Structure 1
Amino acid sequence: MTIAQNPLSVEVTLPREDVALVRVEGYLDVDTATEFQHHLANQLHHGRRHFVLDVSEVPFMDSSGMNIILRIYQETRRSGGSVHILSPTPPVQRVLDLTGVSITVPVSKSADDALALIDAQQSSEPEG
């Protein structure tokens, strides 16, 4: 007998032209990671440089989800962008802490906090 997990729900909103706010709900694991990756790749394709990943409704994340977050982090860094994680649940925060991802990728309590970090990063970059 297999237990059906909640399907992954991904909702993307654009608080700004170059910022994608990605709300993720459900299990972020090997079965759902590809869908999550497609949403992020689509936003990159459309020129989004900054990603705010709301994982407040993700009860479980395995290494598949974490690897996608790291991959999008590396992609955005190449274009001067950033990734911010919003309100991780305790199990997700634990994975981020154990793997060191929370040291590399900023974790914020709200979208406004993440947007303020993006603004601070952009204002400290040399204009070119």
Structure 2
Amino acid sequence: MTSASCPSAEFTLTVQAADAHTLRVAIHGYLDYDTSDEFTPAVDELLDAHAEQHGPPLRHLHLDWTDLTAFDSSGLSALLALHRRTHPAGITLHLHHQPAYFTRLLEVTGVMGHLTQHARGAASPATAEAASDTASAPVP
């Protein structure tokens, strides 16, 4: 297991498992106003290390929230920033073992589905065209 460098003892990330297409990371401690600015660079460091070791085909980032002890709107903002990086790169976020207060905040703000929507991989022009045709097809 690998931990990301985080100056705060109240927040750490630990790599639980990795292969070419999947990275599993556990979040420990607080992801709130005091630590949220550490989250993005810490996850960026893990993603960069994964790319160096396994290459660019990462498709699934699993985040385990079992050891999360606090989460607020600043943590939500950091999680949305992570989505802005991973989704365009074709990486789908998977959220596991969320505490009730975490799930409640995602549901109240309406971002649960947004954060976990399936990311499209690098599509060929034909695939992208077919997807746009399907999206614009009339509904019977």
CA distance in 2, matches of 1:84, 1:68: 15
Shift of 1:91: 0.8
Could you say which structure has the larger radius of gyration? 2
Partner AA of 2:61 in structure 1: F
Q: Is the 8 A contact 1:56 1:87 kept in 2?
A: yes
Q: Which runs of 4+ in 1 moved over 6 A?
A: none
Give CA-to-partner distance per residue, 1:88-122, whole Å, 9 cap, x none.
00111111111112121239xxxxxxxxx89xx77
Aligned CA RMSD, in angstroms, stands at: 2.7
Partner of 2:131: none
Residue 12 of structure 2 aligns with an amino acid whose one-letter code is S
**How many pairs were matched up?**
110
| 1:99 match | 109
Instruction: Say whether 1:32 aligns with 2:15.
Output: no
Which runs of 5 or more structure 1 residues have no equivalent in the other structure?
1-5, 108-116
Residue in 2 that maps onto 1:84? 94
Query: What residue is the counterpart of 1:65 in the other structure?
Result: 75
1:56 corresponds, among 54, 59, 66, to: 66
Give the unaligned 5+ runs of structure 2. Answer: 1-8, 52-57, 126-140
What is the CA distance between 1:16 and its match in structure 2? 1.3
Match for residue 17 of structure 1? 20
- Relative to the length of structure 1, the TM-score reads 0.70
CA–CA distance in structure 1, aligned partners of residues 12 and 85 of structure 2: 23
**Aligned-pair distance for 1:86?**
0.9
Residues 55 and 85, structure 1, Cα contact 8 Å, conserved in 2:
yes
